[in-house]
Amino acid sequence: MPVIADPSAVPLTPVVTILLSADGSVSVNGEVLPTEGDPRVAGLAEVRIKAAFLGRPVRVIAKEPDGSVWALIVDVDGAVTPLAEPHPHPQPEGEAPAPEAVTGAPGAVTGVPGAGAPAATRSSARPAADWEAPLPAEYSPLWDRIRAAEQQGDLRSAAALVAELVGVLTQRQGPDHPLTLNAQLTEAYFALLGRDHPRAALLYAHTARRMATAGAPHESVQKAARNAYASWKEVADPLAALEVGRQVLAMWHEAAGEDRRPIAWTERRLRALSARIEHHTTDASP
């Protein structure tokens, strides 16, 4: 994977902490993550989302169960750069870094789900190669326009072009084809970069459900699901967060696999949101 050529160019803050525990759990900045499989992969995936929120690489301190500590930089495309030295301490005073253009390959998710959609029956799994296949050459002109818009920082145009690509693939390949679903992940990615967190969460959640039904590799489904969960946590409005959270919960019921903890975590957060809304409504009553 590519690495950061000049680590000193990466802002000194924020520094994200990944804590790996002996029981196989992982937390990022103190919050335990839903994970299945390698906890390091789950932790780095969460940091990638944070990098996407900022539109630039972020610094990471990863702490292993044996006490070893690693200084890393994680880019928006998931590339990890290990550092030979600890992160330098930020100066107490100084100018904030100038905004940076969003860079890195798009990576992620789907279309907005309908409320109360019935659970679909999982189809036979496609070969993993189907899910990793690049876009055929016939779609290259449209993809080149998407990348050009992204590189110019025109996220609105890039998002519109990705939506166009999803429509074309849906018509030609079908809604559950790997090419279509991978394009929908990219649609969600641009919603995330545009800080439209409700839309990003819904797109990721819907795509994760469709991927599970279409037989995508489990880790790919989990990555989309974790992105949905992370995007949902960024939804500020309680009413919107409650509505989006219901879709995230429906997603976990289909995509969680054997690890059911994400369902419990999502239900707990939904209860907290409901209580917060009820309390606010009560206080506002005459």
Alpha carbons 197 and 233: distance in angstroms, whole number: 8
| Residue 109 pLDDT exceeds 70 | no
User: Hey, which residues does 69 pair with through a beta bridge?
Assistant: 63
User: Hey, which residues does 28 pair with through a beta bridge?
Assistant: 18, 31
Strand, coil or helix: 48: helix
Nearest CA to 28 out of 2, 58, 66 is that of 58
User: Tens digit of pLDDT for each residue in 10-33?
Assistant: 888 888 899 888 888 888 887 777
What was the pLDDT predicted at 220?
86
Long-range CB contacts (within 8 A, 24+) of 60-66: 60/15, 60/16, 60/17, 60/18, 61/15, 61/16, 61/17, 61/18, 61/87, 62/17, 62/18, 62/20, 63/17, 63/18, 63/19, 63/20, 64/20, 65/20, 65/21, 65/22
Q: Taking a C-beta distance cutoff of 8 angstroms, is the pair 26, 40 a contact?
A: yes
Q: Max Cα separation, the chain?
A: 64
Alpha carbons 87 and 94: distance in angstroms, whole number: 17
Tokens describing residue 38: 């390698």
Cis status of the peptide bond prior to 14, with omega within 30 of 0:
yes
Q: Taking a C-beta distance cutoff of 8 angstroms, is the pair 189, 106 a contact?
A: yes
Q: How confident is the model at residue 60 (pLDDT cuts 50, 70, 90)?
A: very high
Q: Taking a C-beta distance cutoff of 8 angstroms, is the pair 154, 162 a contact?
A: no
Residue of 197 and 107 predicted with greater confidence: 197
What was the pLDDT predicted at 171?
92
Nearest CA to 108 out of 27, 226, 213 is that of 226
Domains of the chain with bracketed CATH = 7-82 (no CATH), 128-281 (1.25.40.10)
User: Tens digit of pLDDT for each residue in 168-207?
Assistant: 999 999 999 999 999 999 999 888 888 899 999 999 999 9
Strand, coil or helix: 33: coil
Q: Taking a C-beta distance cutoff of 8 angstroms, is the pair 183, 162 a contact?
A: yes
Q: Is 209 exposed, middle or buried (0-12, 13-18, 19+ CB in 10 A)?
A: buried
pTM of this structure? 0.60
Alpha carbons 42 and 45: distance in angstroms, whole number: 5
Nearest CA to 41 out of 67, 87, 93, 78 is that of 78
Lowest mean pLDDT among 32-41, 166-175, 237-246: 32-41
